[in-house]
Structure 1
Amino acid sequence: MESVTRGGTRWKRFALVMVPSVAATAAIGVGLAQGALAASFAVSGQEFKVTAGYLDGTGFAQYGGVDMGYKDLKGDEKTAHPVAISTFKNASITKMCQSVVTDVPFVGKITLKLKAGDKGTPVQAKNLYLDVSELDANAKFTNIDIGVAAKDTDNPAGGPGPAGKGPAVKDESILPNGFAQQAERAELTGVKQKAWATTAGTFELSGLSMRLLKGSGDGVECY
């Protein structure tokens, strides 16, 4: 069975993303708890943008969740961010871009921009947990199950959960019987998305380029 989704997406709907890491040239150490990767950090007060030409992922699952983090860049007040959590056991992506804008005192807006996977060798990632608030893309799913309980996301064809064993749920904060979906394979083209966080086992970025650019908006950010 194959399923195709086109157009804009929001929380609790289809949201498949690929998010590069600022520390992308190294493997990211993660804690394993009951076969699932656990995120124990508070997210920053900034969302970041990501674009991708093509993403090909296997062992996919998705469910709703909440990221706890700082409300803004200035204080210690915390807030909750509703997210769609997408997980992949393995993923390959081409033409990837990440950007985040910071308003620097006495300087103005500065954009940190990362690009990779655009020189013939795709970005490779394993055991991904991607916390997304917005997505626009064309998506194709192979052997998809919609409506499965989050605790039962364990697609055998794509591999038993992104962590390699057990359910694909991110941590114990996820409602175990909440709505989820899983698929053997997920393919996305023309990805544009906003995210709060990503957690990964390994992230290999070929042709990584990082630049600090003055200003923001079209032509400076990824989109």
Structure 2
Amino acid sequence: MISQIRGGTRWKRFALVMVPSIAATAAVGVGLAQGALAASFSVSGQDFKVSADSLVGTDMIQYGSVAQGATLESDKKSYHPVIISGFKEAKITNMCQSLVTKTPLGNITMQLKTGHKGSPAVAKNIYLDVAELDADAVLGDLDIGVAAGDGSHATKPKEGTLADGALFSQRAKTATLTKVRQKAWATTAGTFTLPDLNLRLYGGDKPCYQDEK
């Protein structure tokens, strides 16, 4: 994989571009134990699903990190290797977010929909802690293998997740993802505008999409 690519780049499976970064996360747990990385906050013990028809973002940055998880036992921690994807701005069309939770009454699904009536959801300074991502992607002005702490990143690394500035990262001036299917541990944003917000609770398992078998 060439370290620097200019222009538009297409991948059928967007996750493939992060193979070097995913390999790097194999050592992330060791780095965390040695204080090389710091988690910004403790995530819950559940990941959630997000789907969208498209995500159009500017000034993308991606790098490997670890999300620290909370547990019911206060003296224990869980750690989840993630790819942090940051955008200066992202417009998301037909977004669905879902979380299935076990209760004494059976499984309950929380489902949120937005950007499905002609106006996209708009996020500024958004960071996604991603565990899995499938999409079609076109990246413009792409640099692969840039140090995460390099000061020339238009979008800075997420606060509290990067102590070792030499970590592998990649950046792109523009990013267009379609047919997005994602599992994530956390999302943070400076502002997130959600037009035509629809939040519902359903009995049973009703995620935004089904996992491929």
Query: Which residue of structure 2 lines up, in the alignment, with residue 68 of structure 1?
Result: 68
Cα RMSD after superposing both structures: 2.1
Counterpart of 2:12 in structure 1 is 6
- Secondary structure of the corresponding residue to residue 151 of structure 1: coil
Query: Moved runs in structure 1, 4+ residues, more than 4 A?
Result: none
- Which runs of no fewer than 5 residues in structure 1 stay unpaired? 16-37, 162-167
The answer as to whether partners of 1:13 and 1:84 remain within 8 angstroms in 2 is no
Letter in 2 for 1:112: M
Aligned position for 2:133: 135
Report whether the alignment pairs 1:206 with 2:195. yes
Distance 1:95 1:13 in 2: 28
Q: Distance in 1 between matches of 2:101 and 2:20?
A: 29
Is the aligned partner of 1:125 residue 2:119? no
- Segments of structure 2 that go 5 or more residues without pairing to the other structure are 1-6, 22-37
Q: CA deviation at 1:90?
A: 0.6
C-alpha contact (below 8 Å) 1:97/1:222 kept by paired residues: yes
1:47 aligned residue: 47
- Distance of 1:194 and 1:153 partners within structure 2: 29
Q: Deviations over 1:63-85 (max 9, x none)?
A: 000010125xx433311110000
1:138-158 per-residue CA deviation (whole Å, 9 max, x = no partner) reads: 010000000100011634xxx
Aligned to 2:207: 221
Cα displacement string for residues 120-143 of structure 1 (whole angstroms, at most 9, x for unaligned residues):
000001001110000110010000
Counterparts of 1:80 and 1:39, CA distance in 2: 9
Amino acid at match of 2:121: V
Q: Percent identity?
A: 50
Shift of 1:39: 6.8
Specify which structure has the higher proportion of helix: 2
Paired residues for 1:1-223 under 5 Å? 1-7=7-13, 9=15, 12-13=18-19, 40-71=40-71, 74-76=72-74, 77-105=76-104, 107-152=105-150, 154-155=152-153, 160-161=154-155, 168-174=156-162, 175-216=164-205, 220-223=206-209
Tell me if structure 2 keeps the 8 A contact 1:11–1:84: no
| Pair 83,129 (structure 1): closer, same or farther in 2 beyond 3 Å | same
Q: TM-score, normalised by structure 1?
A: 0.78
Deviation at 1:169, TM superposition (A): 1.3
Contact 1:85 1:131 in 2 (8 A): yes
- C-alpha contact 1:49 1:222 (8 A) present in aligned 2: yes
C-alpha distance 14-215 of structure 1, shift in aligned 2 (>3 A): farther
Q: Using a 3 Å threshold, how does the CA distance of structure 1 residues 80 and 111 change in structure 2: closer, same or farther?
A: same
Query: Any idea what SS the aligned residue of 1:9 has?
Result: helix
| Change in 2 beyond 3 A, CA 1:205/1:53 | same
